[in-house]
Structure 1
Amino acid sequence: MEEVKRLDPKASTARILFAKSGNQCAFKGCFNKIVSDDGVYIGNICHIEAALPDGPRFNSNMTNEQRRESNNLLIMCYEHHKETNDVEKYPVSVLKQIKKEHEDKFKNLINDLASQLYEDITDGNAGVKATTLNTFNSVMGWNSNQDEKRELVELAENAFNKLKQLSPATRSVFFHMLNRAGGKLDRKMFLIEELQNILSSNQEQFMSSFSILKKVGLIGEPYTYDGVYGYVSDLEPIEDWHIWPDIKEYCESANISLSEIINKMEFNLLD
């Protein structure tokens, strides 16, 4: 029988755990981040069945390697890591259910890039342009006149055409950029390192998409920002309209899927 010793999770395992975490504590109802807005790692990788005999839920039948596999680990904030050490309240079955429910909720973060690579961009993926933006104007409370609406529709078509130049996988990267923008940063800014961690299952695709998105004019060059650890980038406006943060705000207010508009290019949802 091997000597029981604590083995740190492999780097590849940690990346998978983070990607599946959605940058959020796995404990139900907790929205604490795993990586702060400043790019600092503040989460805890927790064992379901402990690494050492004096730990909670230790299973002597497991090997050291099994104890550090991803199916025995989940990421929580410090507070809930400590709380779940109560083995009576949180036995193995409960922690496994917590892990499953949380990772199922965020599985699109690592699945959508792969799945969309196989979509036929010309088959049911051509998108639908916006023609009026009536609902968008109403929800945003803009009260635009007809001339202003026509100008906005033209700008929205410009944005639509930029998205249409992209592969589904690159549009998915842009979706995550938009979805993660804001927080404690300006609403048009996103932290590059956070996106790299979330989409760690395909770093080559991320870097390729980043370059394409800059070339198309959807994002800007990376730069440093006071008080932020790591590089940030901006979602670029269409002419002077910061359309992407506005679309995100509209989706949140109207309870409309941002993914439908960005990934599937259903701009008619703005009408």
Structure 2
Amino acid sequence: MSGMKSGSGKNRLTPLPDVARQLWVFSGNECAWDTCDVRLVDPTGGWVGKIAHIVGAEPTSARHDPTWTKEELRDYSNLILLCGNHHDVIDHAASRAQFTVEDLHALKERHESRYRYRLARMEEAFLNITQGNVVRPCMTLGQFWLGDDEEERAGNVETVNEIANFLATVTPAAREVLAFVVSSEEPIDI
């Protein structure tokens, strides 16, 4: 997925899974290059994106800084997602001097900020929808309880309240889908 070889070179470490996931989420499935519209996952599901170091990992790499640790080199802030072509352009010996660390950080910020903003707006919209949900806690399960074991009954009341509290954080549309799945007498092929 990353375009980096695990363990190649002494300083090059594979990005941590959370870092790689964050890079892909904030890429919007697009190369970070300002004028590039290449999709990082093509229509067939193939990965054409590559993770590039802003500060190069190896002494012969573009923009290498020997004071950086291996962990700093693979940190989210030092990585950018590009198509294969632009990945190679910023690192090629003939063109690497054109791309400074500052330029690449600015490129990363311009590109990712669009998707960070959209994600924050989606999260805000979701919270606005779910914050008004009020859950009235279950007290006894009296209508549904057939047994005599009060301890078991109390445990079931607690479980029902936990589920209800969770459902309060889900959008109404998601609750409708869940209600449909739960109430369906026929198996649902998803």
TM-score normalized by structure 2? Answer: 0.62
Per-residue CA distance 1:61-81 (angstroms, 9 max, x = gap): 110001001100010001111
TM-score, structure 1 length as denominator? 0.44
1:97 pairs with 2:103:
no
1:107 to 116, 121, 126: 116
Output the amino acid matched with 1:93. E
Q: Hey, what's the Cα distance between the residues in 1 that align with 2:39 and 2:179?
A: 28
Cα deviation for residue 168 of structure 1 reads 9.6
| Contact 1:25–1:75 (CA under 8 A) maintained in structure 2 | yes
Contact 1:22–1:109 (Cα < 8 Å) also in 2: no
Larger Rg: 2
What does residue 76 of structure 1 align with? Answer: 82
Gaps of 5+ in 1: 124-166, 175-208, 223-271
Counterpart-to-counterpart distance in 2, 1:39 and 1:214: 32
Match of residue 34 from structure 2: 28
Deviation at residue 211 of structure 1 after TM alignment:
8.6
Partner of 1:76: helix, strand, or coil? strand
Conserved? CA contact 1:114–1:169, under 8 Å:
no
User: After superposition, where does 1:56-71 map in structure 2 within 5 Å?
Assistant: 56-71=62-77
Percent of aligned pairs sharing the same letter: 27
- Following superposition, the deviation at residue 221 of structure 1 comes to 5.9
Shift of the 169–110 alpha-carbon distance from structure 1 to 2, 3 Å rule, reads farther
Q: Is 1:116 aligned to 2:122, yes or no? A: no
Q: What does 1:256-271 correspond to in 2, within 5 Å?
A: none
Q: 1:212: how far off?
A: 3.0
Q: Tell whether the 8 Å contact from 2:34 to 2:107 is kept in structure 1 after alignment.
A: yes
> Secondary structure, in 3 states, of the residue corresponding to 2:25?
helix
Superimposed CA distance per residue, residues 39-98 of structure 1 (whole angstroms, 9 cap, x where no aligned partner) = 221100000011111110011111000100110001000111111123321111110110
* CA-atom RMSD in angstroms: 3.2
| Alignment size in residue pairs | 138
The gaps in structure 2 that reach 5 residues or longer are 1-8, 133-167, 182-187
Structure ranking higher on relative contact order (CA contacts 8 Å, 6+ apart): 1
